[in-house]
Structure 1
Amino acid sequence: MRVAAAQARCPWLDREAGVRKVVDFVGRAAAEGVELVVFPETFLPGYPIWLSEAGGVEFADDRQEAACAAYRELAVELSGPEVRVVVESVRDHGVFTYLGIAERGPGRGTVYCTLLAIDPVTGVCGVHRKLVPTPEERAVWSNGDGHGLQVHEVGGVRVGGLCCWENWMPLARHSPYAQAPDLHVSVWPGSTRLTGDITRFVALEGGVYSLAAGAVVDYADVPAGFPLRDEVLAARHRSPYDGGSAIAGPDGRWLVAPVRGEERLVIADIDPAVVRGARRELDPDGLRARPDVFGVSVDRRRGFPG
């Protein structure tokens, strides 16, 4: 199977432009013979970069509240037009797609960091809400649940995915491992600093192919009307969101080392038979998991409606 990370420049807080970008990269993936493509964390409508660049956790600050309100307003609803357009594109091109969105839940008040799995035939087949946002992210995102911790069958390849620092949570990683995946996907805001170690670590620990997808964010793309634009631009000379998309094999060696700064598809061919061979030495969901000693359960009930 040919797989790819869509390392794209994020049209920050521009949902319509973001959807066009997703549709464009799905089409590019199909033209390259890709069967599965992965987009970065909250690619629609963009990662909340001001949280780390402009004092986003300050309380009783009118401009911070206005920034959060603007972000919430542009979050994506599962039943909204943005998801419908992407589902149609996935169906037209026949490319299974993982897409990171900031999902606005019921009541319009709650926003989740969500990873959608979109099948070309059945449409949205997975909605995973990030279990625990990082301390800064909690200013805009709520805790998710275990409902979406599912592995999906894609053309004979079993695939599961996690968001950003969930990939450093041992029990969160164990959930897909226990479902015997061939490929693990991780989605990130976009940084070679974040993906360099964990992508290879997951490949070795899980005995899987490991694909990381990160965005490229240019601070110049922050729209003029955003309340904290000046603070974001003044924070540093260059955006740290430089991509970092990468693909490692089950032996932990790079098929494609982290890509810095480029906007492109990061592509590799994978073979499930290689995964089965790699698990000869370490099988994290088999006998070496010692089910007679350890027991792990996952509560897959949806925490809130939606």
Structure 2
Amino acid sequence: MKKITLACVQATPVLMDKEKTLQKVLTWIEKAAEKNVDVLLFPESFIPAYPAGMDFGTVVGSRTEEGRRQFQQYWENSVEVPGNETAILAEAAGKYEMFLAIGVTERDLTTKTLYCTLLYFSPQGEFLGKHRKLKPTAAERIIWGEGDGSTLVSFDSIFGNVGGLICWENYMPLARMSMYERGVEIYLAPTADSRDTWQSTMVHLALEGRCFVIGCNQFFTKSDFPENLKDKLANDRPEVLSRGGSVIVSPLGKVLAGPLFDQEGLLTAEVDLAELIQARMDFDPAGHYNRPDVFDFRVNKS
């Protein structure tokens, strides 16, 4: 077993601008490389931004033309997978020999559907694959389609088995179990939830999965939106739309870095992978603490 450095970027995307946000991502990757980071996570839908405060002109039973144009703007700044952006990100991961994961809004050119997606890149500069969010939460269903079991994935790497779920998927017990069953050792949890209660969820994940957990969120305000959208944001939302709360937790629930609130920043934590074995001495949700004679667990991966 060996020591590695885990990290996450809590930053402000250039909202609704795919190209400029990608450049910002590359800048943060370079900063992480200066800290000798081995595994790096960016937040949920960092490209082109989580659309907090936007309603896309919808109420129950009604849509507006302006809202449809906002959706088109969001679609045009979303990421094709694979495509130009994934090639650039893969090259950056390989350049710094870093395992990279980043949340994007993915656009499917065939169906024109958008998905909330987590992308994975190897330290060898390869695009490994993706996970699409299984169940967009509440009003997110206006903009994102549902993923399926085929993208409940994890990847073996020189830094361990890496996988994860997006935001409130982490409240889905069976989705979590699918990760534990895959042997995830570094659990990624990009999110848009900046409530204090989310911190309890991250600690619970670590204790339940006996894995290292990286929780990662964005920091941005209403003022960060482009001019054509600022006056379209919900009036009842505060100026700070996402205050962050990124955090790194050990397999026994110890907070190693963060939580970071109300600013941009890079969280890092040097960890000893031997802790994964030590933590599973008395609990292992998919191993010796499992009861397959009592519970029948199956994932539809089609």
TM-score by length of 2: 0.93
How far off its partner does 1:158 sit?
Answer: 1.4
- Is 1:65 the counterpart of 2:62? The answer is no
Tell me the SS of whatever aligns to 1:246: strand
Aligned to 1:92: 95
Question: CA–CA distance in 2 between the matches of 1:72 and 1:113?
Answer: 12
Aligned to 2:228: 225
Distance 1:263 1:111, change over 3 A: same
Residue pairs, 1:97-108, within 5 angstroms? 97-107=100-110
Question: CA–CA distance in 1 between the matches of 2:139 and 2:238?
Answer: 22
Q: How many residues align?
A: 298
Alignment check: 8 A CA contact 1:242 1:261 kept: yes
Alignment check: 8 A CA contact 1:219 1:233 kept: no
Aligned to 1:280: 281
Distance 1:140 1:192, change over 3 A: same
User: Percent identity between the aligned chains?
Assistant: 33
Query: 1:23-78 deviations in whole A, cap 9, x for unaligned?
Result: 111111111010110000000011121346x7654522222222222212221101
Alignment check: 8 A CA contact 1:217 1:242 kept: yes
Aligned to 1:19: 22
Aligned to 1:6: 9
- Is 1:48 the counterpart of 2:51? The answer is yes
Aligned to 1:255: 256
Higher strand proportion:
2
Question: CA–CA distance in 1 between the matches of 2:241 and 2:222?
Answer: 10
Tell me the SS of whatever aligns to 1:47: coil
Distance 1:56 1:276, change over 3 A: farther
Distance 1:39 1:190, change over 3 A: farther
List 4+ stretches of structure 1 deviating above 3 A.
54-58, 233-237
Aligned to 1:183: 186
How much is the aligned-residue C-alpha RMSD, in angstroms? Answer: 1.8
Alignment check: 8 A CA contact 1:205 1:284 kept: yes
Alignment check: 8 A CA contact 1:192 1:259 kept: no
Tell me the SS of whatever aligns to 1:86: helix
How far off its partner does 1:248 sit?
Answer: 1.0
Residue pairs, 1:207-218, within 5 angstroms? 207-218=210-221
Question: CA–CA distance in 2 between the matches of 1:3 and 1:62?
Answer: 44
Distance 1:192 1:93, change over 3 A: farther
Structure 1 residues without counterparts, runs of 5 or longer: 302-306
Query: Which one-letter code corresponds to 2:164 in the other structure?
Result: G
- Is 1:78 the counterpart of 2:87? The answer is no
Tell me the SS of whatever aligns to 1:153: strand
How far off its partner does 1:257 sit?
Answer: 3.2
- Is 1:154 the counterpart of 2:136? The answer is no
Structure 2 residues without counterparts, runs of 5 or longer: none
Aligned to 1:291: 292
